[in-house]
Chain A
Amino acid sequence: MNSFLYGMLVGLVAGLVIALAALVGVWAERKVSARIQLRYGPQESGWFGLLQTLADTIKLVLKEDITPTQADVPIFRMAPLLVFVPCAAALSVIPFATGWAPFNIASSTLFFLAVPALSVIGVLVAGWSSRNTYASIGGIRGATQMISYELPRTISVLALCVLAGSVSAVGVHDAFRWWWLPVNAIGFLVYFIASIAELNRGPFDLPEAESELVAGYFADYSGIRWAIFMMVEYGGMVAASLFGTAVFFGGGLGVRGPLGAVIYAAIAASIAFAMLWVKWTYPRMRPDQLMNLAWKVLTPMALVQLMLAGIFAAVIS
Chain B
Amino acid sequence: MTLQVESRSATISEDGLPVEELIVNVGPSHPSTHGVGRVVVHLDGDVVVKADMIVGYLHRGIEKMAENRTYLQIVPLTDRLDYVGSMYANWAYCRTVERLAGIRVPERAEYLRVITCELQRIASHMMGIGSAAGDTGATTMFMYAFDVRDRVIEFFEELCGARLTYNYVRPGGVSFDTPEGWTDRVLRYTAAVRADLDEMDKLFFGNSIARGRMKGIGVLSAEDAIAWGASGPTARGSGVVWDLRKHDPYSVYPRMEFDVIVGDNGDAYDRNRVRLLECYESARIIEQAIAQMSPGPVKADGLARLIAPPPGDAYDHIESARGSLGVYLVADGSPRPYRMKVRSPAFCNLALLPVLAVGHTFADLIVVLGSLDPVFGEVDR
Interface residues of A (CB under 8 A from B): 33, 36-39, 133-134, 137, 202-203, 205-206, 209-212, 214, 280-289
Contacts and interface: CB of A to CB of B under 8 A. Distances in A.
Interface string B21-65: 011110000111000000000000010000000000000000000
A33 B144 CA distance: 12
Contacts of B31: 210-211, 214
The secondary-structure label for the interface of chain B is helix
B207 interface: yes
A161 B203 CA distance: 38
B204 interface: yes
A285 B209 contact: yes
A37 B139 CA distance: 8
A300 to B, nearest CB: 18
Contact of B32 (A202, A211, A280): A211
A278 to B, nearest CB: 10
A98 to B, nearest CB: 40
A288 B204 CA distance: 20
A286 B137 contact: no
B22 A133 contact: yes
B138 interface: yes
B135 interface: yes
B209 A203 contact: yes
Given A134-B24, A287-B363, 4 more contacts: A39-B143, A283-B141, A286-B361, A288-B361
Given A38-B144, A202-B137, A286 B213 contact: yes
Nearest to B26: A212
A137 B137 contact: no
A211 B366 contact: yes
Contact of B137 (A36, A133, A205): A205
A211 B32 CA distance: 5
Interface string B160-172: 0000000000000
B363 A286 contact: yes
A36 B361 CA distance: 30
Max chain A Cβ within 10 angstroms of own Cβ: one of B32, B136, B147, B361: B136
Contacts of A133: 22-25
Max chain A Cβ within 10 angstroms of own Cβ: one of B46, B138, B139, B141: B139
Contact of B140 (A36, A137, A288, A289): A36
Interface string B116-139: 000000000000000001111111
B155 interface: no
A162 B25 CA distance: 50
Given A133-B25, A206-B363, A287 B213 contact: no
Interface string B208-228: 011011000000000000000
